[in-house]
Structure 1
Amino acid sequence: MILPCRKESVDKIAEYAKNEPVVMPTDTLYGLCMSIDGDINKIYKIKGRSIEKKIPVGVANIEMMGKIAEITPEAEKLIRAFMPGPLTLVLRNKGVKWLGDTVAVRIPAHTLTIYLMEKIGPITLTSANISGEKAPSVIEDTMKLDVKYRLDCGRLMGKPSTIIRLVDGVELIREGAIPMASIMRILEE
């Protein structure tokens, strides 16, 4: 079922998203989202994703992030400069049971996704596509996924978030919407 881009749509699916994946907009791409306390294997199955590939986590704010990740001074600088926004930070894991030592976490700049997280807590935030296929910038790109609910908010940016690892130094994992030069400029201040 495709729902309109409204708070009422989030109200309708929030309880469902505690245990089942839904397609939500982010500031960059459409995401496959559900509570991190649900059965995460459902996400892997729907995407056809290798279990070795970790799933990023979305949070509504820095306080929520601090409950699941160790926020270093470097991370705090980048959070204040670029979040909410298209930046994913890999930090030491503090509270996500199904992840190992690290967690990839971000605050997406989309009011409806933040609203969902305010209602149900941290969520999975992986792209809503079959692994290896085109990044989903429009709802039509998500139709191969077997999910009950999708929120259609039109065309999104289409460029993925930049991923920076901040464990034992600074490492660029993927350059996306934010250039590495901008990241380094903030870290050097």
Structure 2
Amino acid sequence: MTEQAILDAAARLEAGALVAFPTETVYGLGADAENPAAVAAIYAAKGRPQDHPVIVHVAPGADLDYWAADVPDEARKLAQAFWPGPLTMIVKRHAHIPDAVSGGQDTVGIRCPSHPVAMALLAAFKGGKGGVAAPSANKFGNVSPTTAQHVQDEFDEEFGAGDITVLDGGSSQVGIESTIVDLSRLATHGPVLLRPGHIGAAEIAAVIGAMPAAPDAAAPRASGTLESHYAPKAPVALADTARLPGLLTTLAGRGRRVAVIRYSPMLVQASAQELLPNDPAGYAFGLYAALRTMDRADVELILVETPPQHDTWLGINDRLRRAAFGSAGIIDRFLAN
């Protein structure tokens, strides 16, 4: 990635255009967070509901007080511990920050990414003083992109019109979206884990001295927390390790075209398959690319070996649960026919 490419992309952001860029989690579709028209262009390109907030990405050393009406000590401690890195903090939005980034809420999600291309872009944009609103660079509800090619696959029509610039920074190192912790209601609810990710609740608790609670009904809306999300076009279902080989054999015997994503070393009968590492970091790195590859295999179902239920796999299990939400009961329907 050349310095000129970074400067050109920063100039496009300042002009109100969209720029897709790599972060360590997934690729983001970015716009000037203080330009409501530019933020609206993100929503239009993605087909994103207007009340679903986006995350504001800032450069290292950014002034949190510029973005937040109130910055609790817990936020400063977490920023010092985990930024740049895959942690988003929800805080009260400063009055001068447009509510376009927060889906109309009085809160805002802020993150400082660690990918070198993202950091260079944020440093160049408005001299490092600006913020880039950026959800994942895909059509709303689809599998998040972890390469520049994935972004191009999502927005081929927009690329034809030249509406979106893409910075290619290779594969995203983490592979699933950032952890989101709500710090906007500490006095009444304490910290709340809205979305699990690479940084776990125990790691957050070790810094701020309080274990984040599970989401409650009054929690702020946050990116990637709808029940159905991260889904390929083909239905997704999960199956336990012991059940997987027999289930695949039965479905194949009924003429069903089934792809499988697994981490266990076993022989299985499938139309297509991906073997991912059996450690959470390696699995997360390859998950979205595997879902996209299996989705191109012309199958009726993507069957995923249920991952371990240990806390270190919480973010992965969260993404797979949401990917499979819209396909509930599909295995039983296939077996009944």
Asked if Structure 1 and Structure 2 have the same fold, meaning a TM-score greater than 0.5 normalized by the shorter chain, the answer is yes
The 2-side partners of 1:66 and 1:59 are apart by 12
1:61 and 1:71, CA in 2 relative to 1: closer, same or farther beyond 3 A?
Answer: farther
* TM-score normalised according to structure 1 size: 0.92
Distance 2:203 2:112 in 1: 18
**CA displacement at 1:62 relative to structure 2:** 4.0
Once the two structures are aligned, what percentage of the paired residues are identical?
A: 30
Give the aligned length: 185
Deviation of the 1:14 alpha carbon: 1.5
Aligned-residue offset at 1:36 = 1.2
> Of the candidates 130, 154, 168, which is equivalent to residue 152 of structure 1?
168
After superposition, give the CA deviation of every residue in 1:20-66 in whole Å (9 maximum; x if it has no partner).
11101111110001111221110000011000101110111343332
Contact 2:117 2:169 in 1 (8 A): no
Question: Distance between the aligned counterparts of 2:193 and 2:3, measured in 1?
Answer: 35
Could you tell me which residue of structure 1 aligns to residue 91 of structure 2?
91
Displacement of 1:139: 1.1
Q: Which residue of 1 aligns with 2:109?
A: 104
1:35 to 32, 35, 38: 32
Secondary structure, counterpart of 2:24 in structure 1: coil
Higher share of residues assigned helix: 2
- Flag the structure with more relative contact order, 1 or 2, with Cα contacts below 8 A and sequence separation at least 6: 1
Question: For 1:148 and 1:24, how far apart are their aligned partners in 2?
Answer: 10
Matched, 1:136 2:145: yes
Structure whose CA Rg is larger? 2
Q: Counterpart amino acid of 1:47?
A: K
Out of 113-122 and 10-19, give the one that drifted further: 113-122
**Counterpart code for 2:120:** Y
Verify the 8 A CA contact 2:22 2:115 in the aligned structure 1: yes
Query: CA contact under 8 A between 1:6 and 1:112: conserved in structure 2?
Result: no
Residues 1-189 of structure 1: matches in 2 within 5 Å? 5-18=1-14, 19-38=16-35, 39=37, 40-69=39-68, 70-94=70-94, 95-98=96-99, 99=102, 100-118=105-123, 119-120=125-126, 121-143=130-152, 144-145=154-155, 146=158, 147-156=163-172, 157-168=174-185, 169-188=190-209
Structure 1 stretches lacking a partner, 5+ long: none
Distance in 2 between the 1:47 and 1:148 partners? 12
Give the Cα–Cα distance (whole angstroms) in 1 for the partners of residues 62 and 169 of structure 2.
27
Q: Is the 8 A contact 1:161 1:176 kept in 2?
A: yes
Deviation at 1:17, TM superposition (A): 1.3
Q: What is the deviation of 1:67?
A: 0.5
| d(CA) in 1 for partners of 2:195, 2:181 | 7
Q: 1:112 to 1:64 in 2, by over 3 A?
A: farther
CA RMSD of aligned residues (A): 1.5
Moved more, 110-119 or 99-108: 110-119
